[in-house]
Amino acid sequence: MTDATHDSFYNGQVQIVQPAQGFRAGTDSLLLAAGLDANLVGSALEIGCGAGGALLPAAYRMPQARLTGLEIDPEMATFARQGIAENGFEARVEVVDGDAGALPETWQNKFDTVFSNPPFFEPGTIRTPGAGKKQAYIESLGLKDWVNAMLFALRPKGTFVMVHRAAELAHVLAVIERQTGEITVRPIHSYPGADAKRVLVRARKGLRSGPMRLMEPHYLFREKGGEFTDWALTMQRDGQGLAW
């Protein structure tokens, strides 16, 4: 078993058990959790939940929801289950071992919300990641198939939420535009004047396609090398959600 650390999110309100080396939950995970509806009464699925870096903050933010995490790496799934126990979420949060490319037929049209922070890079496009990072960064399933898996599991009129590289926005939209409506994009920049590094994409399955809404950007830092913005601090410390 890989050495693990026990880390606190949201001013100590959420505990994460994650590998000491390799991919570790950070801003992307908290962005994804912040993009979810805190008032959801229903079911939510995270495809590729890893050690629970987004799943457990999401469970804290959505106290009335039942959450399922799907994870292909058995060790990461074990860490996520430890986190579930440490936070006392056993009654409404579970982790299932499985592959995004082979979802159970019983999951079709099942979940009210499906969310994900998928692996970002195709094999061969970056140097080999360090130990423990490969499955978090390298696609085992193409982006189109990953998005389609999310939509497969999402019920009609349910909510799709994804955080991804801003450079991949066109590819994400090309997959969802004919299957969803109310598409909304929130660009995330490191600081004013910098290019967007991430985008949060939200959509509703099966609704009539209409104009995409491109919202004003959010900035993580006040300036290059500067302090966090008030928005970033409240997201990281207090679990403040994003307004859609």
Q: How far is residue 201's CA from residue 90's CA, in Å, rounded to a whole number?
A: 29
In this structure, is residue 13 part of a structural domain? Answer: yes
The mean predicted confidence, pLDDT, of the chain is 91
The arithmetic mean of pLDDT across residues 38-47, rounded, is 98
80-124 pLDDT, tens digit per residue, is 999 999 999 999 999 999 999 999 999 999 999 999 999 874 444
- Residue 1: its pLDDT value, please? 63
Q: How many CA atoms lie within 13 A of 81 on its CB side?
A: 12
Confirm if 154 and 198 have CB atoms less than 8 A apart. no
The arithmetic mean of pLDDT across residues 67-80, rounded, is 96
In this structure, is residue 32 part of a structural domain? Answer: yes
- Closest by CA position to 20, among listed 34, 6, 40, 10: 6
Predicted confidence band of residue 2 (pLDDT cuts 50, 70, 90): confident
Q: What CATH number does residue 142 fall under?
A: 3.40.50.150
Would you say residue 45 has pLDDT above 60?
A: yes
Percent of the chain exceeding pLDDT 90 equals 84
In this structure, is residue 50 part of a structural domain? Answer: yes
In this structure, is residue 244 part of a structural domain? Answer: no
In this structure, is residue 243 part of a structural domain? Answer: no
In this structure, is residue 11 part of a structural domain? Answer: yes
59: exposed, middle or buried (C-beta count within 10 Å: 0-12, 13-18, 19+)?
A: buried
Give me the domain span that covers residue 52: 4-238
- Residue 173: its pLDDT value, please? 96
122: exposed, middle or buried (C-beta count within 10 Å: 0-12, 13-18, 19+)?
A: exposed
- Residue 138: its pLDDT value, please? 40
131-157 pLDDT, tens digit per residue, is 444 444 344 689 999 999 999 999 999
In this structure, is residue 146 part of a structural domain? Answer: yes
* The total number of structural domains that make up the chain: 1
- Residues facing residue 121 across a β-bridge: 138
